[in-house]
Structure 1
Amino acid sequence: MTDTQLTVLLDIQTSNLKRQVQKVLLAMRDVAVSEYSLDLSGDVLITELSSSPEQDFQAIQGLIDSGTVTDVFLLSASTEQDVLLRSIRVGVREFLPLPLDDDELSKALTKLQSRRKKHSEDDVPDREGRVVTVLGSKGGAGTTSIAVNLAITLAQRDPTKSVLLMDINVNLGEVPLFLNFTHQYNWGDLARNIKRMDETFLRNVLFEHATGLNVLPGPEHVNGNFMEIRDLFGQMLSLLRSMFDTVVIDAGHSLNDLGEQAVLASDTVLVISQLNLPYLANTNRIMSSLRQIVPDAEHKLKVVINRNDSKSEVSLQEAEQSLKTKIFWSVPGDYKFALSAINQGKPFVQVGAKHKLTKSIQELAAKLVPEAAGKKEAGRKWFFR
């Protein structure tokens, strides 16, 4: 048996469809085919969605969870959104609509063989990517704006590097609004399918912005499953940082269980504040709390002042005295420009490439991730870059 040998189990009731699949399999190399039965296990199960889809989905999830099969290819005449979403959530690797395209099935199997070969040859573990969490000291600090534009800047600066923007605000995430896109899936879907997280699964869940940034929105609701996804969040984040060069997390302004996990997993935490007493007072409290839980806090925690202008109530020097820490970066204020970008669903660079806000975020990105350091390793893992 070669490294790319696939053991394929068939569970197809429609005779013509079954013959069509068998014909494709017979034309392929390194494929062993068997009829599915309870006493067999295999690499991939090719099955047909029946008239009782919920029973099928439960059976598929059971087979994957038990390790009976590693992957599932689902053939379905229905391509409705709820069927596609359910397929992803139970861990289906390939969803193939009917009538079946022979080439699509062949390509999917060939891709699976290539992945197995690559994994067997890859004995060197991937390096970990950098995680930057952006945490607001108070609502309205501009946390999402900075997170979105920082991630966009990092993605555009070096096309050989992969960047993920992750919104961990449950129910209140605004990243899709800032980038003007709608989404079907979110990181809750990844958390619930942690064992299935691979290239194909991520491709279906992520949104890719025109700038090359990959975006993973937060759940709009958790249907009472918050404890479940919370418990899986750390494991999911660990996997994501192994797949991307940089993961930027928009943590909003709530240091809840998810925010705390993100902070602890981060290389850098940007605490966003403004030059007025309510924001600085909150920043003091947050910094004090974080110093108690974050190892090497003085190195990892960095205060960023947003909307700094001549009308600010407090000077940068006074803010540093109040916070007893140096201000890492200061972003100038231009509320009209920032609001225009938000209303258009565009990053700063697409609204004003030479604007002072755009340049400030670019300089912040360069200070956080120096280009010289970022170019030591060319090329990145997976399909993202």
Structure 2
Amino acid sequence: MRSGCSEYLLKPMGREQLLNAVARVGGRRKERLQPFKAQLLAFMGAKGGCGVTSVVTQLGAMLANSFSKKTLIVDLHPDFGDAALYLGLTKYRYHFFELMENNDRLDAELLQSFIAHHSSGLDLIPAPEGNDAPRRILPGAVAQTFEFLRMRYDFILVDMAPGLSDENLEMIRHCDQLHVVTVSEVSALRNVVRHLEYLTRKEIPRERFRVVLNRHQKRSLISDGEIEKTIGQKIFWKVPNQYAHVVKAINGGDPVAQLSSSDVTKNLRELASSLGAKP
């Protein structure tokens, strides 16, 4: 099994045992040939504390519950990711980095052992709970793993840690859009500019970048126009500032129910529609 084989049979073997093994292998090959690919949307904070996990979990639950889209969240934080906590999910055994370590034998059955299911219909592959797990991530593992996942969902939302780690850079190269989530603070806006300039130097197309302004207030000390002038492009989306409602949703672990009548929910429903989701 460590050598990468996906089936082994013990002698003496019966005819039915052999046929079942062949059917399983054939089923895996058939799965790889499915033509549909999910939208792969990455979300990264300009700095810590911009509310990326909150936006991703609420949007994911909205896509799954209100739009009936098969939606997966991948928590790509190398340690201490909070997506599972925000969704109130505690029953899971494995994390995404372990999935990448095993991508050479990845099939539908193995994938299911990594997924935590939320009551909204949303699926999650969580991040590691600690920072002491050894990892053997080979070059290309991020792209290979997501290529497999894209055949099975309508939307995949990736909750990325701030910064430009090797995993983040590979993710950015292969996603459909990178949403840089910021707030109306000088330090965060400076980091948006730094990120966009660096990624442009890495020859990642500028049109792939989308800036999401979280906790937006109409009477902010820094106007929307000043923000757009600073970052050198239009703000793609503005999420209203309803901090108390969002904290309540996090504490309750149910973004859809806790925010059902809030402006945040209405806003994210419009965002889901802008991404191509239809009820």
TM-score computed with the length of structure 1 as normaliser: 0.64
Please say if residues 4 and 105 of structure 2, whose CA atoms lie closer than 8 Å, have aligned partners that are also in contact. Answer: no
Q: Does 1:181 align with 2:89?
A: yes
Please say if residues 35 and 151 of structure 2, whose CA atoms lie closer than 8 Å, have aligned partners that are also in contact. Answer: yes
Q: Which residue of 1 aligns with 2:271?
A: 364
- The alpha carbon displacement at 1:153 in A equals 1.6
- The alpha carbon displacement at 1:221 in A equals 3.9
Please say if residues 144 and 252 of structure 1, whose CA atoms lie closer than 8 Å, have aligned partners that are also in contact. Answer: no
- The alpha carbon displacement at 1:339 in A equals 1.1
Structure 2 counterpart of 1:176, one-letter code: A
Structure 2 counterpart of 1:250, one-letter code: D
Moved over 6 A (4+): 108-111, 120-123
Q: Which residue of 2 aligns with 1:82?
A: none
Root-mean-square deviation over aligned CA pairs: 2.7
Instruction: Output one character per residue of 1:127-153: Cα deviation in whole Å (capped at 9) or x when no partner.
Output: 322110001001110111111111112
Structure 2 counterpart of 1:289, one-letter code: Y
The higher relative CO (CA closer than 8 Å, separation ≥ 6) is in 2
For these two proteins, the number of residue pairs brought into alignment is 272
Q: Which residue of 2 aligns with 1:350?
A: 257
Relative to structure 1, the CA distance from residue 119 to residue 172 in structure 2 (aligned partners, 3 Å threshold; closer, same or farther) is: closer
SS of match in other structure, 1:135: strand
Q: Which residue of 2 aligns with 1:205?
A: 114
Unaligned runs of 5+ in 2: 11-15
- Counting only pairs closer than 5 Å after superposition, residues 133-144 of structure 1 correspond to structure 2 as 133-144=42-53
Q: Which residue of 1 aligns with 2:13?
A: none
Aligned counterparts of 1:157 and 1:248: Cα–Cα separation in 2: 16
Structure 1 counterpart of 2:221, one-letter code: E
Q: In terms of mean alpha carbon deviation, does 171-180 or 311-320 score higher?
A: 311-320
Please say if residues 80 and 130 of structure 2, whose CA atoms lie closer than 8 Å, have aligned partners that are also in contact. Answer: no
TM-score computed with the length of structure 2 as normaliser: 0.87
Q: Which residue of 2 aligns with 1:164?
A: 72
Aligned counterparts of 1:305 and 1:258: Cα–Cα separation in 2: 24
Relative to structure 1, the CA distance from residue 115 to residue 245 in structure 2 (aligned partners, 3 Å threshold; closer, same or farther) is: farther
Q: Which residue of 2 aligns with 1:274?
A: 183
Q: Does 1:243 align with 2:152?
A: yes
Aligned counterparts of 2:60 and 2:76: Cα–Cα separation in 1: 15
- Structure of larger gyration radius: 1
Aligned counterparts of 1:352 and 1:123: Cα–Cα separation in 2: 38
Q: Which of 130, 133, 137 is equivalent to 2:39?
A: 130
Relative to structure 1, the CA distance from residue 72 to residue 201 in structure 2 (aligned partners, 3 Å threshold; closer, same or farther) is: farther
SS of match in other structure, 1:151: helix
Q: Does 1:329 align with 2:266?
A: no
Q: In terms of mean alpha carbon deviation, does 117-126 or 142-151 score higher?
A: 117-126
Please say if residues 164 and 215 of structure 1, whose CA atoms lie closer than 8 Å, have aligned partners that are also in contact. Answer: yes
Structure 2 counterpart of 1:313, one-letter code: L
Instruction: Output one character per residue of 1:166-209: Cα deviation in whole Å (capped at 9) or x when no partner.
Output: 00101120011101111211112212221221111111110011
SS of match in other structure, 1:138: coil
Aligned counterparts of 1:238 and 1:123: Cα–Cα separation in 2: 9
Relative to structure 1, the CA distance from residue 317 to residue 131 in structure 2 (aligned partners, 3 Å threshold; closer, same or farther) is: same
Q: Which of 142, 165, 171 is equivalent to 1:262?
A: 171
SS of match in other structure, 1:327: coil
Please say if residues 246 and 259 of structure 2, whose CA atoms lie closer than 8 Å, have aligned partners that are also in contact. Answer: no
Aligned counterparts of 2:268 and 2:51: Cα–Cα separation in 1: 13
Q: Which residue of 1 aligns with 2:223?
A: 315
Q: Does 1:70 align with 2:11?
A: no
Q: Percent identity?
A: 27
More strand as a share of residues: 1
Aligned counterparts of 1:120 and 1:220: Cα–Cα separation in 2: 33
Instruction: Output one character per residue of 1:248-276: Cα deviation in whole Å (capped at 9) or x when no partner.
Output: 10002222111111111110111111122
SS of match in other structure, 1:171: coil
